[in-house]
Structure 1
Amino acid sequence: MAIQWFPGHMTSARKKAEETMEFTDIVIEVLDARVPEASHNPMIEDLRRFRQRPSLKILNKADLADPAVTQDWLNHFNRQDGIRAVALSCKKPGDANKIPGLCRAIAPHRGTNLKPLRMMIMGIPNVGKSTLMNALLNRRIAKVGDEPAVTKSQQRFELSPQLSITDTPGMMWPKIKYESDGYMLAASHAIGRNAVIDEEVAEFLATILLERYPALLNARYKTDVSNMDAIDLLEAVGRRRGYLLKGGEFDMEKTAMAFLVDYRSGTLGRISLETPASRAKMMATIENMTLETDQIEDKGNDSPE
């Protein structure tokens, strides 16, 4: 299933962000720590590189992610030019307060009364930008919701005479290139439910968790998952919770939603759906498949008629 989700307001949001970038000193990109690369919008990278702006990548929701994997991601990002990465939970008091200092260190030539440091916060929907803005300003100015794409217009705020920050709507990109990215984003609730089938997303998520976090599944659902596949696991969850339809069949729709909520809320434990190594392996597999396809097409073109 190809997952695409690009609400209409995102086109105008991109154009406005492109205009504002010219007058920005540093781009703060908020990522979901459980899926840092899948939740990275390539359009944001294109915009900031065009204007040659440095980036502070915030791996938000770090309290929900696997800490060892998060550290691997921090090491990965911090090796890249023009990028500084930090893991935070913007719901924790004090975590957001670290951000202005980190931005000052990245752009030391700004941050005075004559040259205020102009920050711009960007990211895909539902990664916690609004929560971060509210924490930075110590008041509720950005609407926070459980559904993606709550913020729909750009806003600028003065943190002090030396610091300003522009909040932007969550922006997806028109086409999610890799199917697995779409599933990871849907599992992490960065894509509206109208664009996905919960049962398929839950099956995708169950497959990853059975491979990487079986002990967490055993502990949560009090069942041995060692010989289960994704459907077996979801059926066991549904039956254990009594999610049954008439005739005794388990309610897959209700089970899928409950399973996704257990992951999203952190009830299952601290989980990361991708690692730098798994990402590199995925990209290598895709590259090899593309190369093989090109070779087959080339042979077909060379065949005599």
Structure 2
Amino acid sequence: MIQWYPGHMAKAKRILKKDLSLVDLVIETIDARIPKSSKNPDLNEIIKNQNKIVVLNKMDLADDNLNKNWIEHINKETDAVLINSITGEGASRLKSLLNNKYDIISKKLSQKGRKARQIRAMIIGVPNVGKSALINILAGSKIVTIGDKPGITRGRQWINIDKKVKLLDTPGILWPKFSDEDTAYKLAVTGAVDNDIFDFELASYKLIKFIRDINADFLKEFYNIDFGQEHPYDILPMIAKKRGCIMSGGKVDRNRASQLLINDFRRGKLGKITLEKPGDDSDDLSVS
């Protein structure tokens, strides 16, 4: 079972609990490809009844229809918005929600005889879900460092977005122990877990199964291969041969093929793929 909970995450979790008293709302950022698995179950207990907006980032890598389904599903309980934090698509909708929150909070302050002020929002989520890129889009400039490796953000920092909103960026936080193997591998193949922590070959077998269960054509068409109910162990060599992952003597380089497969998925080359559907008993998303 994959496990990754470095010391800085435990420290960040303790700080997050204290910082909640400083903010008016929480922006919880999840991966649109795995909305359920990228939602940290520990954060529900920490956030409790805090005002919240859910952002489904990386919408461009996820299935368009399932994006709509997930938004409808989450909107039953709280505000939610789809975002592509690289291009900025969806950012105007998020800004509109933040402005609405500002108006509501300002009205409450006025009723208490206090002056309006910037609302303070905390951005939270698992590693490498795009929190820092989202902040840069909202701020309109490159304020925080971004990268495609989890764990780039280690400290907390306040960022002024405009006269109405101030954001607190926080490090990505996982939970101490994954109890579900599929959840762990979904986080791994989407980039939320450090690459040095898990076995790429085992992860590639899981990814092949995940995708085949959704629509095998994603794999068949991109790699120009054909298969039926073969085990993922037997499908990987087909991909390896098409990608030229052959070692001396004609032996298949499974490790290299696994890395190529996972990177192809992460970059959206296989197509727009969402690994979880709302309403499935095993993949339902609680937004409370």
User: How high is the TM-score relative to the length of structure 2?
Assistant: 0.91
For structure 1, the 5+ residue unaligned runs are: 284-305
Residue number among 216, 222, 225 corresponding to 2:224 in the alignment: 222
Q: How far apart are the structure 2 equivalents of 1:29 and 1:125?
A: 12
Displacement of 1:97: 3.6
Amino acid at match of 1:90: S
Deviations 1:12-61 (A, max 9, x none): 21121111111211100110000011000122221211xx2121111100
Deviations 1:156-194 (A, max 9, x none): 122233221111111111111211100100010100012
1:100 aligned partner: 95
Displacement of 1:202: 0.5
Q: Is the 8 A contact 1:207 1:230 kept in 2?
A: yes
- 1:59-138 equivalences in 2 (<5 Å): 59-80=56-77, 83-93=78-88, 95-106=90-101, 108-111=103-106, 114-138=116-140
In the TM superposition, structure 1's runs of 4+ consecutive aligned residues that sit over 4 Å from their partners are none
2:110 aligned partner: none
Q: Is the 8 A contact 2:276 2:283 kept in 1?
A: no
Q: How far apart are the structure 2 equivalents of 1:155 and 1:65?
A: 30
1:277 aligned partner: 279
Amino acid at match of 1:63: D
For 2:249, what is the secondary structure of its paired residue? Answer: coil
Q: Does 1:41 align with 2:40?
A: yes
Q: How far apart are the structure 2 equivalents of 1:141 and 1:256?
A: 35
Answer with 124-133 or 157-166: which moved more.
157-166
Q: How far apart are the structure 2 equivalents of 1:237 and 1:268?
A: 12
Q: How far apart are the structure 2 equivalents of 1:99 and 1:93?
A: 10
1:22 aligned partner: 21
Q: How far apart are the structure 2 equivalents of 1:134 and 1:239?
A: 41
Q: How far apart are the structure 2 equivalents of 1:97 and 1:155?
A: 23
- 1:179-218 equivalences in 2 (<5 Å): 179-218=181-220
For 2:62, what is the secondary structure of its paired residue? Answer: coil
Q: How far apart are the structure 2 equivalents of 1:161 and 1:227?
A: 57
Residue number among 242, 245, 263 corresponding to 1:243 in the alignment: 245
For 2:171, what is the secondary structure of its paired residue? Answer: coil
Q: How far apart are the structure 2 equivalents of 1:118 and 1:71?
A: 28
Displacement of 1:213: 1.8
- Alignment root-mean-square deviation, CA: 1.7
Deviations 1:199-236 (A, max 9, x none): 01100000111221212212101122334331222110
For 1:63, what is the secondary structure of its paired residue? Answer: helix
Displacement of 1:90: 1.1
Q: How far apart are the structure 2 equivalents of 1:178 and 1:108?
A: 41
Displacement of 1:111: 4.8
Q: How far apart are the structure 2 equivalents of 1:19 and 1:145?
A: 27
Q: How far apart are the structure 1 equivalents of 2:117 and 2:244?
A: 62
Q: Is the 8 A contact 2:36 2:283 kept in 1?
A: no
Q: Does 1:231 align with 2:228?
A: no
For 2:270, what is the secondary structure of its paired residue? Answer: coil
Q: Is the 8 A contact 1:111 1:163 kept in 2?
A: no
Deviations 1:256-283 (A, max 9, x none): 00000110000000001111233x1468
Q: How far apart are the structure 1 equivalents of 2:164 and 2:264?
A: 42
Q: How far apart are the structure 2 equivalents of 1:219 and 1:62?
A: 22
Q: Is the 8 A contact 1:119 1:165 kept in 2?
A: yes
For 2:123, what is the secondary structure of its paired residue? Answer: strand
**What is the aligned-residue identity percentage?**
31
For 1:34, what is the secondary structure of its paired residue? Answer: coil
Deviations 1:46-81 (A, max 9, x none): 1211xx21211111001100112222211221122x
